[in-house]
Structure 1
Amino acid sequence: MNLKPNWDALGIFTSVACAIHCAILPLLVASLPIFGINIVENVKFEFFMIFLALAVGIYALYHGYKKHHHSLLPIGLFVTGICFLFAKQIFSAWHLLLLFPAVILIVTAHWLNYRSCQKANHCHATDCNH
């Protein structure tokens, strides 16, 4: 049995995990600093999550674009969402205002990529390299 990861599903998962971390986790774990644990405002963890979403997204969207659908729309949405994530790190006063469009754009990009790949699965057009 050949198991291949669904990179779009993984991208959606990491984006949602980031949103949960950024929006809900501070409400649930406000007491963690009492125990010396601080992942709520940890800049290294924040950037790790952003770069993880970026790495998964680049792979999934490039693969979908190159091998299946040749549409730039998911890539454009993804890049815009990632820009919003970096902006939320720079402009911390607008953290939540920038977070929600970022997550919506990134999840939408992966969803469109997934749907486009399913629609164009094995298109065998002259510009496909499979």
Structure 2
Amino acid sequence: MKSVADKLGMFLSGLCAIQCAMLPILLSVSAVVPSWAHLGHGWIWMSLIGAIALWSFGRGWKRHHDKKVLLFFILGYSSLVTATLLEDKVDIIIESALFVLGGTLMVVAHWRNYRRMQCLTTN
């Protein structure tokens, strides 16, 4: 179980970043997507990504105390939450950039946490 959380976190955060980078293209066909399909979408992602991050980084912090992992997590998750909060208030390009930045920083945080946990288990 020691690396499942980080692998799942890297996958979901990366998927989120890719999806949000493609959002402008997807919105061009949004006339065929019903409006209810967008309801709560961002908060579902934030809840899932946040829960996995807390599971993963909480376990990692107890072992390695790497402040960069927490910094990348805080910056990444803050960017994702900010993008979700500003979803209807900013241009789609800014929103997408915030989501991509946040997803990328979350992947970096999970990768660093994963590597630090590997170093501790091999020593």
TM-score range with shorter-chain normalisation? 0.7 to 0.9
Q: Give the number of equivalent residue pairs.
A: 117
User: What amino acid is aligned across from residue 120 of structure 2 in structure 1?
Assistant: A
Which 5+ residue runs of structure 2 have no aligned equivalent? none
Q: TM-score, normalised by structure 2?
A: 0.80
Which residue of the partner structure matches residue 44 of structure 1? 40
Q: Is the CA contact (8 Å cut-off) linking 1:32 and 1:38 kept in structure 2?
A: no
Question: Which structure shows the bigger proportion of residues in helix conformation?
Answer: 2
Residue 106 of structure 1, CA deviation: 0.6
For 1:63, which of 59, 66, 74 is the aligned residue?
A: 59
User: What amino acid is aligned across from residue 88 of structure 1 in structure 2?
Assistant: A
User: What amino acid is aligned across from residue 86 of structure 1 in structure 2?
Assistant: V
Consecutive aligned runs of 4 or more in structure 1 exceeding 6 Å deviation: none
Residue 72 of structure 1, CA deviation: 2.3
Q: Distance in 2 between matches of 1:101 and 1:28?
A: 19
- In structure 2, relative to structure 1, the CA distance for the partners of 1:48 and 1:35 (3 Å cut) is closer
* Identity %, equivalent residues: 27
Q: TM-score, normalised by structure 1?
A: 0.76
- In structure 2, relative to structure 1, the CA distance for the partners of 1:35 and 1:85 (3 Å cut) is closer
- In structure 2, relative to structure 1, the CA distance for the partners of 1:99 and 1:36 (3 Å cut) is closer
CA RMSD of aligned residues (A): 2.2
Which 5+ residue runs of structure 1 have no aligned equivalent? 124-130
Bigger RCO (CA 8 Å, 6+ sep): 2
